[in-house]
């Protein structure tokens, strides 16, 4: 059911800022917020419940497979006054170019999710199921998305330690799987293909109008043999940035890199869907704990607008660079997924 209600509710969420009295560049108080990095438990990836005030919560997965294919999947819940809608989506790419895309929207009473563990069901069908292996310490997920145009059934086994942070605007960002091994099947053009590769999963909740006070953000993740770097840059205005970088070591811990030691740049500007967007990114840091330099050249770009107010670009980027930790040098060389979002 591709209804107009999702767009209308999103519009309410975004336009809430115009009634708040805040300007887009105004700093929000951090009183009561926990902006430090924290360990996670399985319950952090559970559903956080229907909301009275307009907000959105979502689960996001992506995967880069060993052959030419990649995938992105999500379930998004938009709620207000204890009511709302749910949108599920699947995109499959061939060498970074969109091959198949489909989505569906549902009433909130067609959606069921546990408040204790990651378990999401739509119309009685399990879409996301997560568990924790006490023996290995890995988070394990099974996801299943099925649409008329495409489908995916994938098994994620984490190999990095998850973490969470409450952002300055109040929402929570939980990176459950900075990196995971992925196996399963995808169906596209009525053909079933076995796939394997690496994947990523995060979860956000309590995303409200305050988030839309920002101009937008960049986000992505890159990996070497033993390290994974999850990065983001929040644009409070078009020219005011706050970079973030967390480096995970496989089967070990993570390092939260201080924002003031991170350098991020976006260059090679092109006109895309009436907006100027970068086609090259660079992120660098040099501290006593880590040295990282990664260049990201855009391979392909997929524009996905949210109604007419929010522009979203999903990138496949060719990443090359170096990560040095604990005296160990590793090279970054591969294609990964990144994004650029503009609220205005």
* Same domain as 112, residue 126: yes
Determine the average pLDDT of the residues in 16-31.
31
* Same domain as 187, residue 172: yes
Closest CA relative to residue 139, chosen from 163, 120, 162? 162
pLDDT averaged over every residue in the chain: 87
- Report CA dihedral (295, 299, 303, 304) to the nearest 10 degrees: -80
pLDDT value for 138: 94
* Same domain as 150, residue 95: yes
Q: How confident is the model at residue 221 (pLDDT cuts 50, 70, 90)?
A: very high
In a domain, residue 3? The reply is yes
Domain count, the chain: 2
Q: Which of 144, 179, 212 is the last residue of a domain?
A: 212
Phi, psi (degrees; rounded to nearest 5) at 116 = -115, -35
In a domain, residue 24? The reply is no
Tens-digit pLDDT profile for residues 26-63: 222 234 445 689 999 999 999 998 877 788 899 999 99
In a domain, residue 72? The reply is yes
Give the whole-number percent of the chain exceeding pLDDT 90: 69
In a domain, residue 26? The reply is no
Kindly give, in sequence order, each residue whose CB lies less than 8 Å from that of residue 187, ignoring residues fewer than 6 positions away: 150, 151, 152, 193
Kindly give, in sequence order, each residue whose CB lies less than 8 Å from that of residue 84, ignoring residues fewer than 6 positions away: 9, 50, 51, 77, 78, 108
* Same domain as 8, residue 152: yes
Q: Which of 180, 195, 212 is the last residue of a domain?
A: 212
pLDDT value for 308: 61
Tens-digit pLDDT profile for residues 261-277: 999 999 999 998 888 99
* Same domain as 261, residue 121: no
* Same domain as 82, residue 194: yes
In a domain, residue 305? The reply is yes
* Same domain as 236, residue 167: no
Q: Higher pLDDT residue, 273 or 93?
A: 93
Q: How confident is the model at residue 170 (pLDDT cuts 50, 70, 90)?
A: confident
Q: How confident is the model at residue 2 (pLDDT cuts 50, 70, 90)?
A: very low
Task: Tell me how many degrees the CA angle 115-141-110 measures, rounded to the nearest 5.
Answer: 45
Determine the average pLDDT of the residues in 169-185.
94
- Report CA dihedral (326, 331, 337, 341) to the nearest 10 degrees: 60
pLDDT value for 307: 61
Q: The domain spanning residue 252 has which CATH number?
A: 2.40.370.10
* Same domain as 198, residue 77: yes
* Same domain as 236, residue 192: no
Closest CA relative to residue 76, chosen from 241, 332, 310? 310
* Same domain as 222, residue 195: no
* Same domain as 245, residue 287: yes
Q: Which of 192, 212, 232 is the last residue of a domain?
A: 212
d(CA 145, CA 90) in angstroms, rounded, equals: 7
* Same domain as 52, residue 110: yes
d(CA 129, CA 26) in angstroms, rounded, equals: 39
* Structural domain that includes position 320: 214-344
Tens-digit pLDDT profile for residues 310-338: 889 999 999 999 999 988 999 999 999 99
């Amino acid at each position: 059911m591709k209804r107009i209600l999702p767009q209308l509710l999103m519009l309410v969420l975004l336009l809430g800022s115009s009634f708040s009295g805040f300007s887009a560049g105004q700093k929000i108080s951090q009183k009561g917020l926990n902006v430090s990095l924290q360990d996670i438990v399985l319950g952090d990836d559970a559903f956080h419940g229907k909301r009275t005030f307009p907000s959105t919560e979502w689960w996001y997965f992506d995967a880069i497979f060993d052959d030419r294919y990649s995938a992105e999947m999500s379930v998004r819940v938009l709620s207000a006054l204890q009511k709302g809608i749910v949108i599920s989506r699947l995109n499959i790419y061939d060498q970074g170019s969109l091959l198949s895309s489909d989505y569906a929207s549902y009433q909130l009473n067609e959606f069921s999710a546990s408040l204790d563990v990651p378990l999401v069901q739509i119309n009685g069908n399990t879409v996301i199921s997560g568990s924790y292996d006490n023996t290995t310490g890995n988070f394990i997920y099974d996801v299943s998305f099925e649409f008329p145009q495409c489908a995916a059934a994938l098994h994620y086994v984490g190999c990095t330690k998850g973490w969470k942070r409450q952002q300055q605007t109040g929402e929570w960002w939980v990176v459950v799987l900075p990196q995971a091994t992925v196996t399963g099947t995808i169906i596209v053009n009525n053909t079933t293909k076995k796939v394997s590769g690496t994947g990523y999963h995060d979860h956000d909740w309590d995303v409200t109008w305050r988030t839309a006070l920002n101009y937008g953000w960049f986000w992505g993740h890159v990996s070497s043999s033993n390290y994974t770097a999850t990065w983001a840059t929040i644009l409070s205005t078009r020219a005011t940035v706050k970079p973030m970088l967390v480096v995970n070591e496989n089967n070990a811990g993570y390092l939260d890199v201080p924002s003031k030691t991170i350098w991020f740049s976006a260059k090679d500007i092109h006109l895309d869907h009436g907006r100027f967007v970068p086609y090259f990114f660079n992120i660098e840091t040099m501290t006593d704990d880590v040295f990282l330099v990664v260049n990201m050249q855009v391979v392909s770009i997929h524009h996905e607008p949210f109604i007419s107010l929010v522009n979203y670009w999903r990138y496949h980027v060719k990443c090359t660079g170096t990560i040095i930790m604990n005296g160990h040098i590793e090279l970054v060389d591969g294609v990964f997924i990144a994004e650029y979002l503009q609220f205005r």
